[in-house]
């Protein structure tokens, strides 16, 4: 096992060493994958990994409101697909608002459009007019192998899919979701953005019985990209490298102002990279509950102590990410972006 950078916001108790349970794609047997996203700078980089890596077979991309309103996140997704040459990728717009609550967006992180900082091409992709839930259902039903879902935003589309298609739940082998946190949140002290926006959807997804890896802030704050990585992207000499370097430059401003860091955290890319690299992410097996009450809205309550779980009649059924090999992550992402024209 490679050395994993310790959690920057450590808890006072050590994590038990738990083996990963997410399926792993291989070149010989690529994982069928659907991404649900709200681009978002880090969403865009996650899509690049999914398209570049031969261990993954990206079947389609669905879009949710989150970092910005749905028309923006949909347009951004299709522009990213164009940048990455994925002109025929099935793509569909989904929920414009969370299940119950009003939409809360992150223009303060990603800019007004949700993907500020670079000159992106005209939109591409094969638009599935029947919408995100229908596209997920169509792709899952048609796949000979069980499909992995990688939601990289609020879980609204995934919850709606689960509610509309209980007959397809058994054909989803795993959900690798960027969201949540063991420790401190990034919208409130209690909650990370994706779960804060739609905690009711998260509760539906976590109750579905589908195996989940929760890739939260404790891990993703270690997925660092800064000036050195920007220079490496520029050095690729390709358009994608330049565009992603520009996007990183914009994204870094928030991290500088908010945390005083000279790098930004590429959260969403970790949830996808985990599906191709078994050495990248450390996990702990835990039970996760989603808090819906106002004060701690969206808190992901993570518990891995066997005696407590036994007393509560709960199982440690979720893989919760608690560490990332930072250098390995940066190499993987730069290499993926370097593969495009
Ligand atoms: C998550 O929130 C969004 O702003 C990012 O795209 C990521 O999915 C991080 O909290
Ligand atoms: Ca996102």
Give yes or no for residue 268 CB within 6 A of ligand 1: yes
- Closest atom of ligand 1 to 110 CA is 4
Which of 41, 110, 128, 267 is catalytic? The answer is 267
- Closest atom of ligand 1 to 268 CA is 8
Please tell me the predicted confidence (pLDDT) of residue 14.
72
Among 9, 42, 105, name the best residue to mutate to test ligand 1's pocket (greatest count of ligand atoms within 8 A of Cβ). 42
Please tell me the predicted confidence (pLDDT) of residue 9.
55
Please tell me the predicted confidence (pLDDT) of residue 12.
62
- Measured between alpha carbons, how far is 94 from 97 in angstroms, rounded to an integer? 9
Give yes or no for residue 219 CB within 6 A of ligand 1: no
**Can you say how many angstroms the Cα of residue 284 is from the centroid of all Cα atoms in its chain?**
18
Whose CA is closest to 86, among 52, 129, 116, 63?
52
Please tell me the predicted confidence (pLDDT) of residue 2.
46
Residue for token pair 């096992």: 1
Q: Is the pTM of this model over 0.85?
A: yes
Give yes or no for residue 270 CB within 6 A of ligand 1: no
Q: Which residues of the chain have pLDDT under 50?
A: 1-2
Give yes or no for residue 218 CB within 6 A of ligand 1: no
Q: Which ligand is nearest to the CA of 192?
A: 1
Read off the tokens for 171.
Answer: 């054909």
Please tell me the predicted confidence (pLDDT) of residue 56.
98
Please tell me the predicted confidence (pLDDT) of residue 110.
96
Q: Which ligand is nearest to the CA of 105?
A: 1
Domains of the chain and CATH, by start: 31-337 (3.90.245.10)
Whose CA is closest to 176, among 56, 71, 340?
56
Mean pLDDT, the chain, whole residue set:
96
C-alpha distances (whole Å) from 57 to each of 28, 54, 149, 191, 307 are 11, 7, 12, 32, 40
- Closest atom of ligand 1 to 192 CA is 10
By three-state DSSP, how is residue 215 classified? strand
Please tell me the predicted confidence (pLDDT) of residue 175.
99
274 in catalytic set: no
Among 77, 193, 253, 269, name the best residue to mutate to test ligand 1's pocket (greatest count of ligand atoms within 8 A of Cβ). 193
- Measured between alpha carbons, how far is 195 from 251 in angstroms, rounded to an integer? 21
């Amino acid at each position: 096992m490679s050395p994993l950078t310790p959690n920057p916001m450590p808890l006072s108790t050590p994590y038990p060493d738990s083996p990963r349970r997410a399926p792993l794609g291989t070149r010989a047997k690529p994982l069928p994958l659907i991404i649900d996203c709200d681009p978002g700078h880090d969403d865009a980089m996650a899509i690049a990994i999914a398209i570049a890596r031969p261990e993954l077979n990206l079947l389609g991309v669905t879009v949710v409101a989150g970092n910005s309103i749905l028309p923006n996140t949909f347009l951004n997704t299709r522009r990213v697909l164009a940048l990455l040459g994925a002109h025929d990728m099935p793509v569909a717009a989904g929920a414009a608002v969370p299940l119950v609550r009003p939409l809360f967006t992150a223009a303060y992180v990603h800019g007004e459009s949700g993907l500020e900082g670079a000159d992106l091409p005209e939109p591409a992709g094969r638009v599935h007019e029947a919408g995100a839930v229908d596209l997920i259902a169509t792709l899952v039903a048609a796949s000979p192998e069980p499909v992995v879902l990688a939601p990289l935003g609020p879980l609204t589309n995934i919850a709606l899919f689960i509610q509309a298609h209980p007959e397809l739940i058994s054909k989803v082998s795993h959900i690798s979701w960027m969201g949540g946190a063991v420790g401190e949140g990034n919208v409130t002290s209690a909650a990370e953005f994706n779960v804060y926006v739609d905690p009711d959807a998260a509760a539906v997804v976590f109750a579905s019985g589908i195996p989940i890896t929760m890739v939260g802030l404790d891990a993703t704050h270690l997925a660092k990209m800064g000036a050195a990585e920007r220079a490496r992207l520029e050095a690729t000499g390709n358009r994608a490298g330049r565009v992603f370097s520009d996007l990183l430059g914009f994204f870094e401003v928030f991290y500088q102002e908010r945390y005083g860091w000279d790098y930004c955290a590429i959260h969403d890319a970790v949830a996808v990279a985990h599906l191709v690299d078994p050495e990248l992410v450390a996990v702990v097996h835990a039970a996760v509950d989603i808090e819906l009450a106002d004060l701690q809205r969206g808190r992901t309550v993570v518990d891995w102590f066997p005696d407590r779980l036994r007393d509560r009649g709960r199982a440690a059924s979720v893989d919760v990410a608690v560490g990332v090999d930072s250098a390995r992550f940066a190499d993987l992402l730069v290499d993926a972006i370097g593969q495009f024209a």
